[in-house]
């Protein structure tokens, strides 16, 4: 009992400390993604709070962090711009259309969970998964390079001189603390990211260094600060947008794309966290939690979101494992906005960039370089393809493309496995024993095995080592039978699966005479005495 309580207390401490670290890292990320989408910073911050809280409580993956993300923001920017163009400049219609879209996006995600579509993420091949993490690590890295710029007369320019060296030095110090702290025995249990942020922030504040902070970052982006209430009242969205078929036609394509991107990123992050923690999350529950969170976020004026791989890894690496870590991150984020905005605005951007750079190092699958000459060339191609498309386009396009290419490669490789062993009986009957999967990809190879013109009068096709996989295979069998009948030859089929026989019987009555049902084949009998089983076999558990 004492050991149980000790473990619980330890987990609570780790969850709370890691949650605070994540909350600090969430502030600039949420603000940056809000600027990308073309909305007020508070729209991103409140989205991070609401989505983070709801998914932490109800989601299928404890320890995973959700909030406003760049993958969704790049789609939202077009939606907001198009929506604004539909009304007067001062109406801000794009923002209200965004909230409606986020709600519809949430409904689609809930339906995905209800119909248990989340399980299909388990079918994503490993090269696609490695390409996903590599591409996302590159995206996170590139997004942080924007922090090495400043705004001059409304234009972004790279830092130079002392400003650049201060930035590089503070980023390097943050990374050095995070790297070295776990190596000290006395500090192994401390969250290195939080300690690094506090140390670097103290140096900047007490030395009065002129460097970019969270506050200056918000002001450079056009915001006024973190203070403020909810950006949009609940009912204001419905009173400012026409709820009709035209509105649905406008927002539905965006909602569908956002729902797909959100679920793919969330479920693949869930898979990654499963691997890191050696536990298993519930994909369908996560779909419903993400959907419910987006519905509520849209109602209360948030920009929507999904799982965040960077913050999730920060949480896991800092010791966060339970739901409390995500809840703590969301609650502290809200507290920062409401009560400690002036303090949070003093945190140097360099400290947060350093944390994210360490996330990049921890996220990138460095083993992919080592195994490239040890895995099939097609897997290498898929890995590089997914990584590249993630950087160039977005996660949804990258993953779908990777899965399609992997599926085509799999189909091609299996298409080459179809074999036919030929022999003759004493009565002159020619027997074709088919080996391998028969499906759309192997039909051509299957047909090439037969010599209808030169075969004897009686032919038997034995599917004992074959598997009829799809309708194309059934059509191929039907066409082959017709060829033999047209040539005036007799053909019989053996060892077809039950579902295949049913479909062939429906296709044509001729199969009633050519499919052999009563087969005396020792390979299809149990190697046991029936007297050993007094009950029906269905009642036994094997």
Domain region containing 47: 2-404
Answer whether residue 533 is part of any domain.
no
Strands of the sheet containing 490-494, edge to edge, are 419-424, 430-438, 458-468, 490-494
- The alpha-carbon radius of gyration of the chain (Å, integer) is 30
Domain boundary among the residues 380, 404, 428 is at 404
pLDDT band at 189 (very low <50, low <70, confident <90, very high): low
Give 134-155 pLDDT, tens digit per residue: 887 888 788 788 889 887 777 8
Answer whether residue 37 is part of any domain.
yes
Give 48-91 pLDDT, tens digit per residue: 999 999 999 999 999 999 998 877 887 888 898 898 888 777 77
Both 302 and 424 in one domain: the answer is: no
CATH of the domain at 514: 3.30.750.24
Percent of the chain whose predicted confidence (pLDDT) is above 70: 89
What pLDDT score was predicted for residue 42?
Answer: 81
Residue 167 has which token pair?
């930035």
Answer whether residue 409 is part of any domain.
no
Which residues share a beta bridge with 493? 461, 515
Q: Look at residue 491 and give its three-state secondary structure.
A: strand
How many domains, in total, are found in the chain?
A: 2
Both 244 and 271 in one domain: the answer is: yes
Mean predicted confidence (pLDDT) in 87-107: 88
Of 31-45, 103-117, 246-260, 296-310, which gets the smallest average pLDDT?
Answer: 31-45
Answer whether residue 414 is part of any domain.
no
Percent of the chain whose predicted confidence (pLDDT) is above 90: 37
Residue 492 reports pLDDT greater than 90: yes
Both 330 and 454 in one domain: the answer is: no
Residue 59 has which token pair?
């989601």
Answer whether residue 536 is part of any domain.
no
Give 534 or 83, the one with higher predicted confidence.
Answer: 83
Residue 528 reports pLDDT greater than 70: no
Overall pTM surpassing 0.75 (yes/no): no
Contact 311, 29 (CB under 8 A): yes
The Cα angle at residue 152 between residues 140 and 213, in degrees rounded to 5: 50
Both 224 and 261 in one domain: the answer is: yes
Answer whether residue 133 is part of any domain.
yes
Both 351 and 478 in one domain: the answer is: no
Both 358 and 399 in one domain: the answer is: yes
Both 432 and 471 in one domain: the answer is: yes
Both 348 and 452 in one domain: the answer is: no
Residue 461 reports pLDDT greater than 80: yes
Chain mean pLDDT for the chain: 84
User: DSSP per residue over 39-94, as a string?
Assistant: S-HHHHHHHHHHHHHHHHHH-SSTT--EE--HHHHHHHHHHHHHHHHTS-TTT-HH
Instruction: For 287-338, give the secondary structure using H, E and C.
Output: HHHHHHHHHHHHHCCCCCCEECHHHHHHHHHCCCCCHHHHHHHHHHHHHHHH
Mean predicted confidence (pLDDT) in 167-189: 84
Residue 233 reports pLDDT greater than 70: no
Domain boundary among the residues 404, 435, 460 is at 404
Both 397 and 520 in one domain: the answer is: no
Contact 311, 318 (CB under 8 A): no
Residue 190 reports pLDDT greater than 80: no
Residue 8 reports pLDDT greater than 70: no
- Residue partners of 194: CB distance under 8 A and separation at least 6: 17, 18, 20, 21, 24, 318
pLDDT band at 38 (very low <50, low <70, confident <90, very high): confident
pLDDT band at 282 (very low <50, low <70, confident <90, very high): very high
What pLDDT score was predicted for residue 156?
Answer: 80
Answer whether residue 538 is part of any domain.
no
Answer whether residue 191 is part of any domain.
yes
Mean predicted confidence (pLDDT) in 299-303: 88
Both 430 and 395 in one domain: the answer is: no
Both 8 and 85 in one domain: the answer is: yes
Both 104 and 200 in one domain: the answer is: yes
What pLDDT score was predicted for residue 41?
Answer: 79
């Amino acid at each position: 009992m004492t050991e149980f309580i000790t473990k619980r207390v330890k987990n609570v401490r780790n969850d709370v400390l890691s949650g605070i670290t994540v909350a600090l890292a969430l502030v600039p990320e949420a603000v940056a993604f809000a600027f990308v989408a073309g909305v007020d910073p508070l729209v991103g911050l409140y989205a991070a709070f609401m989505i983070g809280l709801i998914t932490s409580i109800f989601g299928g993956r404890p320890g995973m962090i959700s909030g406003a993300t760049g993958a969704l923001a790049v789609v939202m920017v077009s939606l907001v711009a198009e929506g604004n163009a539909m009304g007067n400049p001062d109406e801000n219609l794009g923002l209200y259309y965004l909230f409606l879209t986020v709600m519809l996006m949430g409904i689609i995600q809930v339906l995905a969970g209800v119909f248990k579509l989340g399980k299909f993420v388990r079918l994503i091949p490993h090269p696609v998964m490695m390409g996903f993490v590599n591409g996302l690590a590159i995206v996170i890295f590139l997004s942080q390079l924007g922090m090495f710029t400043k705004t001059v007369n409304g234009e972004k320019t790279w830092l130079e001189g002392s400003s650049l060296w201060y930035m590089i030095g503070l980023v390097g110090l943050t990374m050095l603390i995070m790297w070295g702290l776990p190596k000290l025995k006395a500090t192994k249990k401390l969250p290195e990211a939080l300690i690094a942020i506090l140390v670097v922030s103290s140096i900047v504040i007490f030395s009065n260094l002129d460097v970019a902070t969270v506050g200056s970052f918000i002001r450079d982006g056009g915001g006024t600060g973190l203070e403020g209430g909810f950006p949009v009242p609940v009912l204001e969205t419905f009173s400012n947008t026409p709820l009709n078929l035209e509105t649905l036609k406008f927002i539905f394509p965006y909602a569908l794309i956002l729902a797909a991107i959100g679920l793919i990123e969330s479920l693949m992050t869930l898979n990654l966290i499963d691997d890191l923690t050696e536990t298993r999350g519930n994909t369908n529950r996560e779909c419903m939690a993400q959907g419910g969170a987006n519905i509520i976020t849209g109602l209360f004026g948030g920009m929507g979101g999904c799982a965040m791989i960077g913050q999730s890894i920060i949480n896991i690496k800092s010791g966060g494992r339970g739901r409390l870590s995500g809840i703590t991150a969301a609650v502290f984020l809200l507290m920062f906005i409401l009560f400690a905005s002036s303090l949070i605005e003093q945190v140097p951007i360099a400290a947060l960039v350093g944390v994210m750079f360490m996330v990049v190092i921890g996220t990138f699958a460095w083993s992919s370089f080592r195994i490239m000459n040890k895995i099939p060339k097609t897997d290498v191609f898929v890995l590089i393809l997914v990584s590249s498309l993630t950087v160039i386009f977005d996660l949804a396009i990258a993953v779908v493309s990777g899965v399609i290419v992997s599926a085509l490669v799999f189909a091609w490789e299996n298409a080459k496995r179809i074999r036919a062993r030929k022999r003759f009986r004493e009565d002159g009957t020619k027997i074709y024993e088919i080996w391998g999967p028969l499906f759309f990809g192997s039909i051509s190879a299957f047909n090439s095995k037969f010599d209808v013109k030169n075969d004897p009068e009686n032919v038997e096709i034995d599917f004992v080592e074959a598997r009829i996989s799809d309708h194309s295979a059934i059509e191929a069998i039907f066409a082959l039978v017709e060829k033999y009948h047209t040539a005036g030859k007799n053909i019989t089929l053996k060892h077809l699966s039950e579902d295949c026989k049913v479909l062939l019987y429906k296709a044509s009555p001729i199969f009633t005479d050519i499919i052999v049902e009563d087969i005396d084949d020792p390979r299809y009998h149990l190697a046991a005495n029936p007297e050993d089983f007094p009950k029906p076999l269905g009642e036994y558990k094997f």
